[in-house]
Structure 1
Amino acid sequence: MTAAETYPEPGLREVVLGEAGRIDAVLARALATSRSLVSRWIEEGRVRCEDQPVGRASAKVAAGARVVVDIPVDESVLVRPEVVDGFGILYDDDDLVVVDKPVGVAAHPSPGWRGSTVVGALAGAGYRISTSGAQERAGIVHRLDVGTSGAMVVAKTERAYTGLKAAFKERTVDKVYHALVQGLPDPLTGTIAAPIGRHPGHEWKFAVIEGGRDSVTHYEVIEAFGPASLLEIHLETGRTHQIRVHFSALKHPCAGDLMYGADPALAAELGLTRQWLHAHRLGFEHPVTGERISVTSPYPQDLEYALRHVRGDVPLG
């Protein structure tokens, strides 16, 4: 399915068709989903038109026809317990858990995603987490990109979920990232306040654009190495790809971030197959006890190796 298509809510769905034509095409448009998905439902005997089973996807239907579809659960968003390499626990109590998310792991299942998830890894480790919201997103109060590693908090109880969601909304959570960006930002300490929205020419990218959502990033250079600099970054807002977009707009993309303009030669030299970006520290007031919690995630092996190389501590190869 494309970004414009959805997976409809499971269960019986009655649709009065607004146009005539092939039933797979007409019904797909009516449900805002894909023809291949509708064709599969027809093959499984899940589609009836005017109380008669639809035998083939190419069957013609008239405008105004009444169609009933028995929409199954989308298997791709079911939570499956799994063991995930590199997945760790940084903090754990009765109400919440802070995980150390490896690269390549999504926050929760979603249509089209076939890889590992934080929700699945927690289920595999025997955790019971909050069921607020959609079942596949249970306990998720914020997200890290699939290609970004680091600390991520998940609610285990309803009261923790409510409190943490409010804290993120009110921007009282201290979200500290470390990033290795190309070149040396000027000034060495600063704030980037630039609106972010969907990239007008690329479906899966974001960009600094007029009319985008307010986005604020604070940064400080920790170390400078010539071809790259290590930054500490505090997010005031939490837009999708915010750090990657803001530093790309400054012509200092995260090393290894080819989607946002990083130099592929430098990425290869540093052995990077993803952006050098890590959710290094997470600080927040415990939603139940009021205690201040601060958790730090160490750099994973690939980022540590690239950093040591750019420092000159170790040769590559």
Structure 2
Amino acid sequence: MNNSMIEAVVENESGRLDKVASQLFGNFSRSQLKELLASGNLLVNGQQKKPKYQVKPGDKLTLVEPEVKQLDLVAEKMDLDIVYEDDDVLVVNKPQGMVVHPSPGHESHTLVNALLYHCPLSTINGTFRPGIVHRIDKDTSGLLMVAKNDLAHQSLAAQLKNKTNTREYLALVHGNIKEAEGTIDAPLGRSPKDRKKQAVVADGRPAITHFKVLDRFGDYTLVACRLETGRTHQIRVHMKYIGHPLAGDPLYGPKKTLPGAGQYLHAAKLGFKHPVTGEELLFEAPLPPYFAEMLKKLDKRRKIN
């Protein structure tokens, strides 16, 4: 079987090759990328370079993905912040930094590994995504609904498809949004320039995000984003599209941004109809400490200025 090849062109990124490559090829860690550089599986303009090579705009990075080894899905005992649970569904508050399900490069310590240890899960999504009806990015925190059996999974998936559930996120974005609220209706698909990114493209899948300004901090704005659709990286791409990328976003944000471990994005509200009882359920998760502390710092700076 031929290994797949990924290409990316340096645009605004600058600095060491291993650092820039980790931004462009987000599924690989810097240590993995250094190994790929050493083995000749990551080339710059067709040539092998050292990790300290300083990239330039226009450099083309070509990565040959190593063969995917067989993953063994293992149940792991890990702490979970369970917001709700019954015989059919579970709602968990995922921390920033936790991957939802195993994949090459993230074989263990994922949410699925922890869930498997905790309870039985639906089997509809295949071997490595049991119970997972929808997902959020590794560095996005917040609420996820999980199906414990196939009947529950079918019901929750249908609600997502029919847009009858509630998903509201809190996002800290760059710039001062003048409008009090708005709707972004722009189709999303894989970026033609970089397959690791999503972008607004004419032939993309329909994507709609409603936003409402909650607070303004001069250079930053706190918004509530309600998803009508759930495309990959939807809020991150849509907010960048209107000129207000998420603070801390290593993939879509500017280089000069707020410190942290990733984008300031939190799935704060999640609502759905219970797949068995039909009861309307709504859950909320408070901002994680790192996010809340940053808002305090911005508020203090605003008062001083």
**TM-score with structure 2 setting the length:** 0.75
Letter in 2 for 1:154: V
1:203 aligned partner, one-letter code: R
Partner of 2:88: 95
Of the three residues 208, 215, 218, the one matched with 2:207 is: 215
Q: Which residue, out of 67, 73, 78, partners 1:79?
A: 73
CA distance in 1, matches of 2:66, 2:99: 25
Deviation at 1:254, TM superposition (A): 0.7
Distance in 1 separating the partners of 2:66 and 2:135: 30
Which residue identity is paired with 2:176? L
Identical aligned residues as a percent:
41
Q: 1:227 to 1:84 in 2, by over 3 A?
A: farther
Query: Are the aligned partners of 2:139 and 2:261 in contact in 1 as well (CA < 8 Å)?
Result: no
Distance 1:92 1:35 in 2: 39
Cα shift at 1:273:
2.2
Instruction: State the secondary structure of the residue aligned to 2:128.
Output: helix
Alignment of 1:143-292 (within 5 A): 143-264=135-256, 266-268=257-259, 272-292=260-280
Alignment partners' CA distance in 2, 1:35 and 1:234: 36
State the Cα distance separating 1:114 from its structure 2 match.
Answer: 3.4
Look up the match of 1:305.
293
Residue 46 of structure 1 corresponds to none
How has the CA–CA distance of structure 1 residues 107 and 3 changed in structure 2, closer, same or farther, with 3 Å as cutoff? farther
CA displacement at 1:113 relative to structure 2: 2.2
One-letter identity of the residue aligned with 2:290: D
Distance 1:2 1:100, change over 3 A: farther
How far apart are 1:261 and its partner, in Å?
A: 2.5
Question: Secondary structure in 2 aligned to 1:211?
Answer: coil
When the two chains are superposed, the root-mean-square deviation of aligned CA atoms in Å is 2.2
Question: Distance between the aligned counterparts of 1:95 and 1:207, measured in 2?
Answer: 36
- Distance across 2 between alignment mates of 1:130 and 1:277: 28
* Separation (CA, whole Å) in 1 of partners of 2:211 and 2:237: 14
SS at match of 1:98: strand
Q: The residue matched to 1:135 in structure 2 has which SS?
A: coil
Structure 2 unaligned runs (5+)?
7-63
Structure 1 runs not aligned, ≥5 long: 5-33, 39-73
Seen in structure 2, the aligned counterparts of structure 1 residues 100 and 314 have a Cα distance that, compared at 3 Å, is farther
Instruction: Kindly report structure 1 stretches of 4+ aligned residues shifted beyond 4 Å.
Output: 1-4
Q: Is 1:135–2:123 an aligned residue pair?
A: no
- Measured at CA, do residues 94 and 180 of structure 1 come closer, stay the same or move farther in structure 2, by a change above 3 Å? same
1:307 counterpart letter in structure 2: L
**Aligned-partner Cα distance in 1 for 2:105–2:255:** 29
CA distance in 1: counterparts of 2:128 and 2:5, whole angstroms: 19
Give, as a single letter, the amino acid of the residue that structure 1 aligns with 2:73: V
Counterparts of 1:273 and 1:118, CA distance in 2: 18
Instruction: Tell me what 1:110 maps to.
Output: 103
Who wins on radius of gyration, i.e. which is larger?
Answer: 1
Q: 1:104·1:116 contact (CA, 8 Å) conserved in 2?
A: no
Question: In structure 1, what residue type is equivalent to 2:210?
Answer: H
Letter in 1 for 2:287: Y
Distance 1:3 1:160 in 2: 38
CA deviation string 1:204-259 (max 9, x = no partner):
11111211111100010011111111111100000000000011111111111131
> How far apart in 2 are the matches of 1:120 and 1:314?
42
Describe the SS at the equivalent of 1:91: strand
Structure 1 position 79, deviation (Å): 2.2
**Which is bigger in relative contact order (C-alpha 8 A, separation at least 6)?**
2
In 1: Cα distance, 2:5 partner to 2:156 partner: 29
What SS class does the counterpart of residue 93 from structure 2 fall into? strand
For the residues of structure 1 that align with 2:65 and 2:234, how far apart are their CA atoms? 34
Q: Write the distance in 2 (CA, Å) between the matches of 1:2 and 1:300.
A: 38
Distance 1:257 1:293, change over 3 A: same
